[in-house]
Amino acid sequence: MLRPSWAAYGNTMRNQRSIILAAVLVVVALGILGSRYQVYSPLQGQKFSFTQSNASPRTAAANSTLGFERLVALSTKPSWRTRGLAAAANLTGLEFTIPPQAQNSDELVEAFRNIGESHGAKVPAFGSAKAWLSHLDLLKYVVASGLETAFIVEDDVDWDVRIKTEMGLVSDNVRAYTGVNEEDTTPFGTNWDVLWLGHCGSIITDDINPPPRVYADDSRCETELYSGWSKRFLREKLVEGHRQVQMSLMSVCTFGFGVTKQGAKKMIPLLTKASEEAFDVALSGHCRDQKLKCITVNPQLFNHYEPPKDSGYLSDVHVGDGQGETSEEAQFEHSKGTTGNIMKSARCEALFHDTCMRPPSEI
């Protein structure tokens, strides 16, 4: 912050020079702030913009941004994560934007945590709080960019090589589930705040209202191959070879989620207090309390890729949470890892010409 001290100047000319210099600094600062959210596509090496087409909703959902106005990745720096994201995106014809991330200081992270503590809330550990603030920065980017819709992913995200076909089915069924008028040709309508497509589980119950919309999708992970805490719901409540669109019930992990303009605007004030153990848990709570209208596709279409278990890799969040140190990228980047619940991983096909399903589990 510029704090001129007029008493420090001895004459009028010096005062005038100070005022001119201050004005220049303010203009420069505004220019820097204005360019903070400049849109760029490091995966393609060029800027791009979303243009509306006359394609059908299903066809639009299979375009290079999967029917959203922009695909946005949360990433703090180039790494094995972004290189794998680029490889998978190029293989499947997707175009991501990685906006410049704010460098939130340790003091800011601690201040954010203290907001929750002062209200007696359960607060995130340091690494989780830092990731939470990064998600908030991306939501601000969506609003500042004037986007009608965006799909936000974490930079280690993975998906099936058939993602465009899958998203065509998502379009058909989200539109039907939310009652989109035929005159509205948007791929998913906008009668939702969060469209949660990348998660690590969600409850299925007979009490969901409105009732889920079940649809066939032969690319879906087989139930017995599924890994995660919600496996029993798939086994007991969902027909094999099918997914369902439903209201979100305890969805967790924000591997990939869509937001509408109004959804992003609602989320920012709701999530500016560290009141839970992590961003995804807080988001799930607001969905549960109906402060946000959240729709989930179950089971998920996006999950995170993990380096080999014996590589010594630990995520930045876990390192920040004090769970240990991670190994150097060179020790694992070129060794095939795993992705849970994605039958034909785009990352593993692009990088290793292979599939890489995580072993099935109940947790």
244: CATH: 3.90.550
How far from 244 is each of 62, 67, 301, CA to CA, in Å? 19, 19, 11
**Are 151 and 23 part of one and the same domain?**
no
Residue in 151, 149, 148, 142 with CA at minimum distance from that of residue 96 = 151
Q: Are 197 and 301 in contact (CB under 8 A)?
A: yes
Please report whether residue 170 resides in a domain.
yes
Please report whether residue 353 resides in a domain.
no
Please report whether residue 321 resides in a domain.
no
Q: What local confidence, expressed as pLDDT, does residue 259 receive? A: 98
Domain closes at, from 277, 304, 331: 304
**Are 149 and 285 part of one and the same domain?**
yes
The pair of three-digit structure tokens given for residue 70, joined into one six-digit string: 């922009």
Q: What local confidence, expressed as pLDDT, does residue 315 receive? A: 78
**Are 195 and 235 part of one and the same domain?**
yes
**Are 27 and 164 part of one and the same domain?**
no
* Residues of the chain predicted below pLDDT 50: 1-52
Q: String of b and e for 213-236 (b: at least 16 CB within 10 Å)?
A: bbbebebbbebeebbbebbebbee
Please report whether residue 336 resides in a domain.
no
**Are 108 and 18 part of one and the same domain?**
no
**Are 273 and 185 part of one and the same domain?**
yes
**Are 140 and 24 part of one and the same domain?**
no
The pair of three-digit structure tokens given for residue 148, joined into one six-digit string: 């009608």
Q: How far is it, in rounded angstroms, from Cα 196 to Cα 224?
A: 23
Please report whether residue 40 resides in a domain.
no
Report residue 183: phi and psi, to 5°.
-70, -20
Please report whether residue 292 resides in a domain.
yes
Domain that holds residue 14: 6-35
Q: String of b and e for 306-339 (b: at least 16 CB within 10 Å)?
A: bbeeebebbbbbbebbeeeebeeeeebbeebbbb
239 alpha-carbon distance from chain centroid? 28
Residue in 346, 156, 359, 152 with CA at minimum distance from that of residue 256 = 152
- Using omega within 30 degrees of 0 as the cis cutoff, is the peptide bond preceding 187 cis? no
- Using omega within 30 degrees of 0 as the cis cutoff, is the peptide bond preceding 299 cis? yes
Residues near 185 by beta carbon (within 8 Å), at least 6 away in sequence? 54, 56, 57, 60
**Are 135 and 15 part of one and the same domain?**
no
Cβ neighbours of 59 (radius 10 Å): 15
**Are 84 and 175 part of one and the same domain?**
yes
Residue 350: which H helix or E strand, with range? Answer: helix 346-352
**Are 271 and 162 part of one and the same domain?**
yes
Q: Exposed (0-12), middle (13-18) or buried (19+): which is 197, by Cβ within 10 Å?
A: buried
Cβ neighbours of 77 (radius 10 Å): 10
Q: How far is it, in rounded angstroms, from Cα 135 to Cα 268?
A: 10
Please report whether residue 315 resides in a domain.
no
Q: What local confidence, expressed as pLDDT, does residue 51 receive? A: 41
Number of domains in the chain: 2
Residue type, 294: C
Domain closes at, from 281, 304, 327: 304
Please report whether residue 330 resides in a domain.
no
**Are 19 and 151 part of one and the same domain?**
no
**Are 181 and 216 part of one and the same domain?**
yes
